[in-house]
């Protein structure tokens, strides 16, 4: 923007500059109601043009009214929105989002100062989603909670925001908060948008994930049954994919791999039509996980290879961790303990400080690999895995880890300790069977 020696360019200075650039005299620029004398006084700073005069002058000068009045073609709110859109794209596409995130934070401060609640909301959401993608789940939860607490957002408008917040809670080892959030979302969608079947099914699947994480498999199944009753009304393929995915996950937890595999194959078929490679990769990963539980460790390798290829060279840290953990489990089952140890350590490194439940499961895989190699640190890894799974994981995972630990203790001649651990595993298995029947 061109300015005078004492400050920014005034309307009069801008009018004179534009007129001279177009080689127009004041008389040539004049029109009925806007005399050349009036233009002269505006240029001299003695008059401020009326709205009518601004429109006529802008039209003859071939600029927008906003530009003639302010020096910008956009209103402040429009300019803020344009900057936000640019920053949001950079946050998604760049390998180094720091600069874009700083820009969004600057826009957020600017929007708050200007009372622009809409732009402030968008900025909070953009930062929260970026933090979640980077694995900074505590920061993501704080930003997304602020966005939701603004009262300007509903689950139907931005289901992705609520979904990401719930996933952040789960990653922080707070699955009950995810349950509470998705129950609220489901109730609000049913009340505020009763015809929005797509989002009702969507939040039902999210709720089933969360309920499975807290071990309430009976309620998780009930929620999915209600969603299935609505599924025929849903045309969005992604919503149907989520439903099949959730059913596969629930059946896997219930140790019903054949049913789980059937559901995940339906999800894969739908995803192949949409050409969504990221979710297709995740579906192949889950398919491989289920095949391992069916005793098909060798065959699962093709599924993991397809997943790794589709994830690309820079996968999401959690996707990479899940892939490496499952590859490590497969290697251990195929009696390749050195490979299993390497892959499990890669998975733990990718998890960082978040995802305590996944940490516990991966530590259990690492412990098994260490035990196969008769390394003494296996016992400590088993103990830590059980602690994490007991606090953050599911009972079935804890029981499996306890049994693996007992086998290791027996192998090292600690029969009494092994019996104690097996007794804990038996008690957990019994309570899991009772819950499954209920």
Instruction: Give the CATH number, domain containing residue 37.
Output: 1.10.260.40
At 74, the pLDDT band (50, 70, 90 cuts) reads low
Residue 417 lies in a domain: yes
Res 428: pLDDT: 64
Contacts with 409 (C-beta within 8 Å, 6 or more apart), sequence order: 379, 415, 417, 418, 421
Res 162: pLDDT: 95
Residue 165 lies in a domain: no
Q: Percentage of the chain surpassing pLDDT 90?
A: 32
Q: Percentage of the chain surpassing pLDDT 70?
A: 92
At 112, the pLDDT band (50, 70, 90 cuts) reads confident
Residue 426 lies in a domain: yes
Task: Write the DSSP string, 336-386.
Answer: -HHHHHHHHHHHHHHHTT--HHHHHHHHHHHHHHHHHTT-TTHHHHHHHHH
* pLDDT (tens digit per residue) in 45-64: 999 988 888 888 988 888 87
Please tell me the total count of domains within the chain. 2
* pLDDT (tens digit per residue) in 184-232: 999 999 898 888 888 888 899 899 988 888 878 888 888 888 888 877 7
Res 406: pLDDT: 85
**Distance (Å, rounded) from C-alpha 75 to C-alpha 77?**
5
Domain boundary residue among 21, 46, 73? 73
Residue 375 lies in a domain: yes
CATH code of the domain containing 415: 1.25.40.10
The yes-or-no verdict on residue 1 having pLDDT over 50 is no
Res 274: pLDDT: 79
Task: Write the DSSP string, 233-263.
Answer: G---HHHHHHHHHHHHHHHHHTT-HHHHHHH
Residue 354 lies in a domain: yes
At 434, the pLDDT band (50, 70, 90 cuts) reads very low
**Distance (Å, rounded) from C-alpha 378 to C-alpha 367?**
5
Residue 378 lies in a domain: yes
Residue 65 lies in a domain: yes
Res 325: pLDDT: 95
Alpha carbon 277 to chain centroid, angstroms: 16
Q: What is the pTM of this model?
A: 0.66
Residue 101 lies in a domain: no
At 95, the pLDDT band (50, 70, 90 cuts) reads low
Summary mean pLDDT of the chain: 85
Any idea how long the chain is?
438
The yes-or-no verdict on residue 2 having pLDDT over 60 is no
Residues 359-381 have a mean pLDDT of 92
The yes-or-no verdict on residue 438 having pLDDT over 90 is no
Specify the range with the lowest mean pLDDT, choosing from 264-268, 296-300, 359-363.
264-268
Angstrom distances, CA of residue 183 to CA of 10, 219, 240: 56, 12, 20
Residues 349-375 have a mean pLDDT of 91
Q: Which domain holds residue 23?
A: 3-73
Domain boundary residue among 55, 73, 91? 73
The yes-or-no verdict on residue 437 having pLDDT over 50 is no
Domain boundary residue among 33, 49, 73? 73
Residues 280-304 have a mean pLDDT of 91
Contacts with 62 (C-beta within 8 Å, 6 or more apart), sequence order: 22
């Amino acid at each position: 923007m061109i300015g005078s020696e004492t400050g920014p360019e005034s309307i009069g200075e801008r009018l004179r500059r534009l007129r001279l650039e177009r080689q127009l005299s004041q008389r040539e620029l004049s029109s009925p109601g806007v005399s050349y004398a009036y233009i002269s006084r505006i240029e001299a700073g003695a008059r401020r043009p009326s709205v009518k005069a601004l429109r006529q002058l802008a039209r003859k000068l071939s600029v927008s009214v906003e530009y003639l009045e302010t020096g910008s073609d956009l209103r402040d709110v429009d300019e803020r929105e344009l900057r936000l859109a640019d920053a949001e794209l950079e946050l998604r596409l760049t390998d180094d989002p720091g600069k874009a995130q700083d820009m969004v934070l600057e826009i957020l401060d600017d929007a708050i100062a200007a009372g622009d609640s809409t732009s402030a909301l968008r900025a909070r959401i953009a930062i929260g989603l970026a933090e979640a993608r980077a694995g900074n789940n505590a920061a993501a939860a704080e930003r997304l909670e602020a966005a939701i607490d603004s009262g300007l957002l509903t689950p139907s408008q931005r289901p992705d925001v609520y979904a990401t917040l719930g996933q952040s809670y789960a990653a922080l080892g707070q699955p009950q908060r995810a349950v509470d959030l998705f129950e609220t979302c489901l109730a609000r969608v049913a009340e505020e948008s009763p015809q929005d079947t797509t989002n009702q099914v969507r939040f039902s699947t999210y709720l089933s994930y969360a309920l499975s994480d807290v071990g309430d498999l009976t309620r998780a199944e009930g929620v999915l049954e209600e969603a299935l009753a609505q599924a025929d009304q849903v045309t969005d393929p992604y919503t149907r994919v989520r439903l099949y995915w959730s059913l596969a996950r629930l059946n896997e937890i219930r140790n019903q791999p054949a049913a789980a595999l059937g559901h995940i194959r339906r999800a894969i078929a739908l995803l192949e039509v949409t050409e969504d490679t990221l979710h297709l990769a995740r579906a192949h990963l889950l398919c491989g996980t289920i095949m391992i539980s069916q005793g098909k460790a060798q065959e699962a390798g093709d599924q993991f290879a397809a997943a790794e290829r589709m994830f690309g060279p820079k996968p999401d840290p959690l996707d990479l961790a899940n892939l490496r953990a499952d590859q490590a489990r497969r290697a251990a089952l195929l009696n390749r303990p050195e490979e299993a140890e390497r892959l499990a350590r890669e998975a733990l490194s990718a998890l960082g400080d978040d995802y305590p439940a996944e940490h516990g499961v991966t530590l259990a895989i690492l412990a098994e690999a260490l035990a196969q190699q008769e390394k003494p640190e296996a016992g400590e890894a088993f103990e830590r895995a059980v602690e994490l799974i007991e606090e953050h994981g599911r009972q079935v995972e804890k029981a499996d880890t306890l049994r693996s630990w007992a086998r290791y203790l027996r192998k090292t001649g600690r029969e009494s300790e092994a019996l104690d651990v097996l007794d804990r595993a038996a008690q957990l298995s019994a309570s899991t069977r009772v819950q499954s029947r209920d």
